[in-house]
Amino acid sequence: MTDSNFANESKVLIRTYTSFIGGKIPTTGHQHPKHPSWATVLLQQWGTRQWNGQHQRLHGQDSPCISTCTTATNLSSLGDFQSNSTINNSRRMNLEENLRMTIPEIEPLQNKEKNEDETDIVVEISTTNNSVPLRQIKTQLLTAIAVSWVSMIIGYCSAYTSPASLSLERDFNLDPGKITWITSLMPLGALAGGIIGGTLIENLGRKWTILLTDLTFLVAFIINFFAQNYIYMYISRVLSGASVGILSLTLPVYLAETVQPEVRGTLGLLPTAFGNIGILLCYLFGTFYEWQPLALVGVVLAIPFVIVFWVIRETPRYLISKGKEEETREALQWLRGKNTDVSKEFQELKKSQQEADDEATSLKVLFSMHNLKLMGIVLGLMGFQQWSGINAVIFYTTKIFRESGSSLNESVSTTIVGIVNFISTFIAAALIDKLGRKILLYISAVSMVLSLGVLGAYFFLKDVSHIDVTVIGFLPLASFIVYVLGFSLGFGPIPWLMMGEILPAKIRGPAASVATAFNWTCTFIVTKIFLILAQSIGFHFTFWIFGGVVFLALLFTIFFVPETRGQSLADIERKLAGIKVRRMSSVANLKPMPSSF
């Protein structure tokens, strides 16, 4: 039977059945007295049914699936099954209307299933197209760029000691011990910042906390610029570190609460991208300038955010937590675009906040069994991130290249590493909402394990076997490129991104504070002992230890880390709490039952 014949027979069947409901069975012009048509046989078999518009009511059945007939009449793409007589001369329904007609048929089945099983089930209707128009996210993009600018100062501050250490040693007559303190006092200050950061973002607000840290950076670099001895440097690094620690937890939370799920992965990586820009800028300026002009550049970098601060908005989640409903709606409208209907999202925020308010917010909640599991995932990612050795590499890049005896100039090699670090983040931003978090973590871990293994082998051949490595003098730079590329694709940005995603709203502030403090504790330990380890057991064993830790990180990711790509914060929280969330696509996920014909 051809498609056109089938469509004609379908329309005949629908017209016949429509008249049959009215009390008579009309003829179609093709009567077969002895052999009734297949349409008549089906009508006799089905009997009188109830209809909702063009949707047949489901049978009373235990299966939560949608019948074949319902599926066929719900999909607007099967237009041949819709006729003017069937829908009483009304217009053909579009896809969204069809879905709204389908939901009442699904909900009774979901409620029945929920009564049989005490586990909550949330039905979520989603479309297969997750692309978001640029005009809808332009204010979110502006916001993400504005706050990520401060992250650029984090990168610049982190990399400062790498090009500045040589001139600092000369001008202040510093021994290696004082240099390691200047380097490691920044993560120690970040530890203190991480501890107080949770309190600041819950009381002062996300937006004002970011401004406070930016102004602290400004003061720190001014002190650095006018330094007369190493004590000035100590004070400057502690202040900078405190700002870094506070920002490390504030930026992920701010972006997670302002950016919509479809682009949260991409825009959530902007702080990492800008941080890598800061590292690159420090390496580039360090090629030409010494410690004092480098500090002046830091002062200049801190100024722009003071201006754009007055343009961006506070996060809707924070505003609703303070009972500012009107400001919450205004912030949502500004972020999503003036033509976007934010009523549903606003109601979801109110509901989520009400649920959080109804629950206790004491330390018992933070250390409940469920939240401890989530904290374990976040702390695991943070610990593995730092024990991969990344900050030791960033802080001592120039020194490592000098010790490698490579034929390449250490300043040029350091700058190349900074460029790769910068470019790789944009690669991650392009892939994270397509491949997902876990796939990028896999790629990241494998890349770092291989590069650290090769780098350790190079130093083993040079320092232990005493083999001339001139022929393979390119290996340190090549290994660093692969290592930094791998780190920036996964274990660099994703732990911070997932911290803002998987921590429940009611504990997000204090939990993020604990995670950030733990991260910077690890950073302080790694940067403080790196040179000590390298001098005691050699660079080769040091890099192999880091490689072994990254291998454990790969296993941790496989077995414990959840995927959060494309999910709203509310859905992530429900799923990790054990509430089933059934995502039903507008077309692909409507599963028909076997045909009842």
List pLDDT tens digits, range 234-270. 999 999 999 998 998 899 889 888 888 778 777 877 8
Tokens 């040079």 — which residue? 462
Domain boundaries, the chain: 1-49, 65-78+93-130+580-597, 134-312+359-565
pLDDT, residue 269, reads 79
CATH number of this structure's domain 134-312+359-565:
1.20.1250.20
φ/ψ of 549, rounded to 5, equals -65, -40
**Residues 398, 194: Cα–Cα separation, whole Å:** 28
Q: Using a CB cutoff of 8 Å and minimum separation of 24, what contacts does 575-581 make?
A: 576/370, 576/374, 576/502, 576/504, 577/370, 577/504, 578/119, 579/119, 579/120, 579/121, 579/122, 580/119, 580/120, 580/121, 580/122, 581/121, 581/122, 581/124
Residue 111: pLDDT above 80? no
Provide the 3-class DSSP secondary structure of residue 580: strand
- Residue 174 has a CB neighbour count (10 Å cut-off) of 18
* Nearest 10 degrees: Cα torsion 187, 189, 192, 194: -50
pLDDT of res. 443: 94
Contact between residue 540 and residue 463 where contact means Cβ atoms under 8 Å apart: yes
For the ranges 70-74, 506-510, 513-517, 572-576, the lowest mean pLDDT is seen at 70-74
Q: What whole-number distance in Å separates Cα of residue 583 and Cα of residue 337?
A: 26
Quote the tokens at residue 344.
């549903």
Q: pTM for the full model?
A: 0.62
pLDDT at 559: 92
List b or e across 46-77, with b for residues whose CB sees 16 or more CB atoms inside 10 angstroms. Answer: eeeeeeeebbbebeeeeeebbbebbbebbbbe
Indicate the average pLDDT of the chain: 76
Which residue intervals of 204-315 are DSSP H helices?
206-225, 230-258, 261-268, 270-288, 291-301, 304-308
Query: Helix-strand-coil percent breakdown of the chain, rounded to 5?
Result: 70, 5, 25
The mean-pLDDT minimum among 94-98, 308-312, 530-534, 563-567 falls in 94-98
Dmax (CA) for the chain in angstroms is: 112
pLDDT of residue 11 exceeding 70: no
